[in-house]
Structure 1
Amino acid sequence: MTRLGDLERAVMDVLWDRFPGPAAGLTVREVAEALSERELAYTTVMTVLDRLAGKGMVERERTGRAWSYRPAASREAHIAKLMLDALDLAGSRESALVRFARSVTGTEAEVLRAALTDEASDRKG
């Protein structure tokens, strides 16, 4: 399970909030500028992005002399993976799913119901 630390999450939020966006991704400097209120050193942001690349959370490519970074997956895909990984930790996936279903709001339950209905329709057709 790829859990993110506070700073990693802040960097990913910048990338997720900007994409779809620049086709070439964001440079370390652009990410650092987006996080300027944190007063982070350029090298700190560079290290975080390098670690995120190592974890497979971001993709990077050379743009001139600098690297540019973009999310490897959407925020929603990342959250869904975390949820599935959490289910794998449960003694009973079914019990965990039932408990989760009972904890969501009415609107969230409707979204889940619609998604399950759509998935069932897709499997039939």
Structure 2
Amino acid sequence: MTPLPSYRPKQLSLGPLEAEILNLIWELGTVTVKDVHDRILSNPERELAYTSVTTVLQRLTQKGWLVCDRKSRVYTWQPLVSKEQAQALRAYEQLNQFLAVGNPDVVAAFADSLDQTSVDQLEAIAQRLRAIREAREDKECI
């Protein structure tokens, strides 16, 4: 289970090209503009200006997803959260938005419409939460 990271990007929402480039960075690790640009252009059906890649990397840095480092004349970027941490943050955000509906009848109607596999997943999540909370309480008693 991936816990929520202590660090959170300033803005979670990403455009399609931002998401694509962030996925490439998670795959490659530390990258330069050229690394990302070359990878995108490895698909012969794609066109993307080098400057567009630079702009997207700068936006991802401003949004808090990446950190930029300059060594001599080369800029490199690396992610501040892992892909798994990002998925946990997005799931947390979506769950909070869903629960913000605030009407228990709406939430119950949604839950009632779930198929058995989804209900089983919810029950497994509830069991996992109970185990985590019990372990936390045991630690506090020590």
Interval of TM-score (by shorter of Structure 1 and Structure 2): 0.7 to 0.9
Please state whether the residue corresponding to 2:35 is helix, strand or coil: helix
TM (norm. structure 1) is: 0.74
What residue in structure 1 maps to residue 64 of structure 2? 56
Other-structure match for 2:102: 92
Matches within 5 A, 1:31-50: 31-36=36-41, 37=43, 38-50=46-58
Distance in 2 of aligned mates of 1:18 and 1:107? 36
Q: Distance in 2 between matches of 1:14 and 1:87?
A: 27
**Residues 121, 56 of structure 1: CA spacing in aligned structure 2 closer, same or farther, 3 A cutoff?**
same
Q: Which amino acid aligns with 2:125?
A: L
Distance verdict in 2 for CA 1:59–1:111, change over 3 Å? farther
Change (3 A) 1:69 1:110: farther
TM score, norm. by length of structure 2: 0.67
* Structure 1: segments with no counterpart, 5+ residues: 20-24
- How far did residue 28 of structure 1 move? 0.6
* CA shift in 2, pair 1:110/1:35, >3 Å: farther
**Relative to structure 2, which stretch is displaced further, 112-121 or 53-62?**
112-121
Structure 2 residues not aligned, in runs of 5+: 1-10
Task: Name the structure 2 match of 1:120.
Answer: 133
Say what the alpha-carbon RMSD is for the aligned residues. Answer: 2.8
How many Å separate the matches in 2 of 1:39 and 1:10? Answer: 14
* Distance (Å, rounded) in 2 between the aligned partners of 1:76 and 1:93: 30
Structure whose CA Rg is larger: 2
Give the structure 2 partner of residue 17 of structure 1: 27
Relative distance call for 1:121 and 1:64 in structure 2 (3 A) is: farther
Identify which range, 56-65 or 76-85, moves more after superposition. 76-85
Tell me, yes or no, if the aligned pair for 1:87 and 1:93 is still in contact at 8 Å. Answer: no
